[in-house]
Structures are given as structure tokens and as C-alpha cells.
Amino acid sequence: MPDDLAPDVEFDAGQQQSHYLLHVLRLGEGAEILVFNGRDGEWSAAISAKTKRAVRLKVSALQRPQPPLPDLIYCFAPLKQGRLDYLVQKAVEMGAGVLQPVITQHTQVAKPSIDRLRANVVEAAEQCGIL
């Protein structure tokens, strides 16, 4: 997502998002979707241009303002990667505002992949409609 979402802002969707919009959802030009970046709330946007591998979106209107961050801080000892992915998804669905890994003597993953955790957070937020 772009740094700021506002009316009439145009931006290119990322490679994975473009693939999902074009080949999984099979959306065409003019199709309306909802976008969010975790700061500016949820906005409606339309596909303004597309190629085989890229999508350009134009933001139109605010649908929901960004709610304040929940007070729930979820501390966890990182598990094996598959279980860690599931744990992160469920914590986001519960409404955890902060995920805090705690390294313990028996932690099985020395250093969790922040990019992978972030991708799981975004996926879970998209799935359940949390901003």
C-alpha cells in the first residue's frame, strides 16, 4: 500500500496483490475493492488500469476510519514455523494490538522471520476485516 491513503491517490498494487486480484478473483478494470494500510482506515478503490501482471488502483472514498490500537499485548515464545504462523493469525483475529515474541530457554525458533510474521498478520487482517 502507499504511504498515505486519500481520495484520488493512485498506486500500483504489489506483485502478490496484483496476482490475487487478476488471477484468483479475476477482477477487471473498474472493479471496486477495499484497501487499508493500518494507519489511514479502510478505503474503497477501483482498478484504474491493468496489464497481465500489474494492477493500478485509484482510491475513492473512506469506508471506515482507523480504530485506535487495542490494548491487548500478546506475548508468546516462538514455536515451530508452521505453528507460529497459525498462532500469529489467531492472535490477530482475536484483536491483539501488539505481538511480542519472548525468547526463552526452550524456544525452538531462534529468530522468527519478521517478514513472514508481517505477511501472516496482513493475511489474517484481510480475512477477518480487522484494520
Reply yes or no on whether the pLDDT at 82 is more than 80.
no
Closest CA to 109 of 72, 80, 82, 74: 80
pTM, full prediction? 0.66
Q: Are 53 and 20 within 8 A, CB to CB? A: no
Residue % of the chain over a pLDDT of 70: 95
- For the residues 94-117, what does the mean pLDDT come to? 81
pLDDT of residue 32: 92
Q: Are 76 and 87 within 8 A, CB to CB? A: yes
Identify the bridge partners of residue 62 per DSSP, sorted by sequence position.
43
Give the chain's mean pLDDT: 84
Phi, psi torsion values for 85, nearest 5 degrees: -60, -45
* Range in 50-59, 104-113, 121-130 the model is least confident about: 104-113
Q: What is the DSSP letter of 129?
A: T
Domains annotated on the chain, with CATH: 10-64 (2.40.240.20), 73-126 (no CATH)
Cα 7 to Cα 102, 116, 129, distances in angstroms: 40, 31, 21
pLDDT of residue 99: 87
Closest CA to 33 of 51, 21, 41: 21
Element holding 84 (H helix, E strand):
helix 81-94
pLDDT of residue 72: 87
CA angle 121, 36, 89 (to 5 degrees): 15
Reply yes or no on whether the pLDDT at 30 is more than 80.
yes
Reply yes or no on whether the pLDDT at 13 is more than 70.
yes
